[in-house]
Structure 1
């Protein structure tokens, strides 16, 4: 009987907590499709739960079907904040003056990441300059670390797209890594956390890019100041050296589990320059 009463109390408490969260104003948090939807929900829903608990708002995850949709969602007000890539932020900034407010730190505590060119362990390729005449898989045309940065890296080493035997854009970083493992391409481009993950599955890193400003959390320029303040306060107080924070963030996406730093548009000027400098920009024809 006591056991039944205990579980009844737990259920009642859960219902009260759920009702309290439901009474809060709704904020939709957009995310570009970095992985398949199931993985996305697994890695980002815990962040929504934390923000709902730590702010006066109820945060709901909104995953876009592709990168342009994430930009449209923020532009149209479907989402109020969004985790974009550097290139998609450049698009949002150009289209409607979207504003970056935060950027995640990496495992070393600095707000940068890198792009990697990966090959199979048994590949004869030893240097990025040997990719001339090879087949290469890039990420989405709107991806920073999967498309823009590796194209810039190739260009900086004297290799244009026409110098490749062929190239293809795939939607997700994991899809690129798996295609290389299957031998469908000679090399591929992914972000650092994906490259590191697949090092134990038969891939190695052929080349690294220079550090890239971490992917920004972005709002519209007319975002309510109270929402921005609540969001930034909740995320900036996270400390990767705090055992309780560290344990909680272990369930978060790899890019978000080490805390955050403030972000400004000036942090991404190098991305804007790359888009201008590379022939045909990032290849999607939206940056003229």
Structure 2
């Protein structure tokens, strides 16, 4: 056989062998041990499944386990699932991770990168595009929507951000807590509230539907993938190897990542407890809740 042809076959074989795979035969998947992967309800259930199932499929194809998504009804239940062992691994928010770490020693292992390949995100305060509200100061006397009590970008960070600008909860005509970032965005668009707080990916998703950004927070440490303290070492290693292998610039996998939640489609880096010191500091006055003493 011609030597250049042989060399080409070898190079193609090596190229394919080193690429992460995104599909697997049903038989191979069903033979594997099932691992339930928990996640806080950032969006409505339909969007949650659509955004996170591709990641479960990838992990199943690239680890010795079959990963199944375990949704929770609220942020607190996601922590409970991790605590009682229903889920040995979960994607939590910064506040729910801090709660899980303080309660039962949960540990962060990975954190996602944003589109700029940096490990942080932002909280946005949003209004309707046609709103007369032009500054944070003019939110006084208005109706405001936060996310879940335990949400980092939907409650903790915007609460402190507003406070730094001289706005207390009592300054609102009314305020409420909704179950997800999607619910907050829709409440603002429908005019049920004058303004609300959501995470960046949700603000950007709904901007074309008529949202305007009133304020953007300082950088927030990106949301961690968390494991139980007693999670099997081989499981943790498999998760790290599979997710750290993702290179969004690799044309072999870039198209597949389009189907992932945008928060997780730009790769991962290792995470450490110290990365979340800001969150521990902000929640230090209430170690079992959202850190605001509000419930």
Fold match (TM-score > 0.5): yes
2:130 to 101, 115, 122: 122
Q: Tell me the equivalent position of 1:216.
A: 224
CA distance in 1, matches of 2:167, 2:122: 20
CA distance in 1, matches of 2:41, 2:168: 27
Q: Does the Cα contact within 8 Å between 2:106 and 2:227 map onto a contact in 1?
A: yes
Q: Tell me the equivalent position of 1:204.
A: 212
Greater shift in the superposed pair: 21-30 or 84-93: 21-30
Q: Which runs of 5+ in 2 are unaligned?
A: 1-23
Q: Tell me the equivalent position of 1:62.
A: 70
Q: Does the Cα contact within 8 Å between 2:285 and 2:292 map onto a contact in 1?
A: no
Q: What's the offset of the Cα at 1:283?
A: 4.5
Q: Does the Cα contact within 8 Å between 1:31 and 1:64 map onto a contact in 2?
A: yes
Q: Does the Cα contact within 8 Å between 2:124 and 2:213 map onto a contact in 1?
A: yes
Within-5 A mapping of 1:34-49: 34-49=42-57
Q: Secondary structure at the match of 1:282?
A: coil
The alignment status of 1:254 with 2:262, answered yes or no, reads yes
The alignment status of 1:110 with 2:118, answered yes or no, reads yes
Q: Tell me the equivalent position of 1:8.
A: none
Instruction: Please list every run of at least 4 consecutive aligned residues from structure 1 whose deviation after the TM superposition is greater than 2 angstroms.
Output: 280-285
Q: What's the offset of the Cα at 1:19?
A: 1.9
Q: Secondary structure at the match of 1:34?
A: coil
Q: Does the Cα contact within 8 Å between 1:27 and 1:60 map onto a contact in 2?
A: yes
1:25 to 33, 38, 61: 33
CA distance in 2, matches of 1:17, 1:170: 40
Q: What's the offset of the Cα at 1:135?
A: 1.1
The alignment status of 1:282 with 2:292, answered yes or no, reads yes
The alignment status of 1:187 with 2:191, answered yes or no, reads no
Q: Tell me the equivalent position of 2:18.
A: none
Per-residue Cα deviation, 1:149-168 (whole angstroms, up to 9, x for no partner): 11010011111111111100
CA distance in 2, matches of 1:165, 1:148: 20
Q: Secondary structure at the match of 1:272?
A: helix
CA distance in 1, matches of 2:206, 2:215: 15
CA distance in 1, matches of 2:285, 2:221: 18
CA distance in 1, matches of 2:46, 2:191: 26
Q: Does the Cα contact within 8 Å between 2:126 and 2:203 map onto a contact in 1?
A: yes
CA distance in 1, matches of 2:61, 2:238: 11
Q: Does the Cα contact within 8 Å between 2:34 and 2:67 map onto a contact in 1?
A: yes
Per-residue Cα deviation, 1:102-128 (whole angstroms, up to 9, x for no partner): 011111111110000000111111111
The size of the alignment, in residue pairs, is 269
Q: Which runs of 5+ in 1 are unaligned?
A: 1-15
Q: Secondary structure at the match of 2:25?
A: helix
Q: Tell me the equivalent position of 1:137.
A: 145
Q: Does the Cα contact within 8 Å between 2:284 and 2:291 map onto a contact in 1?
A: yes
**TM-score, normalised via structure 2 length:** 0.88
The alignment status of 1:52 with 2:63, answered yes or no, reads no
Q: What's the offset of the Cα at 1:189?
A: 0.4
RMSD: 1.5
The alignment status of 1:242 with 2:277, answered yes or no, reads no
Q: Does the Cα contact within 8 Å between 1:141 and 1:283 map onto a contact in 2?
A: no
CA distance in 1, matches of 2:202, 2:46: 17
Per-residue Cα deviation, 1:123-160 (whole angstroms, up to 9, x for no partner): 11111122122111011111111111110100111111
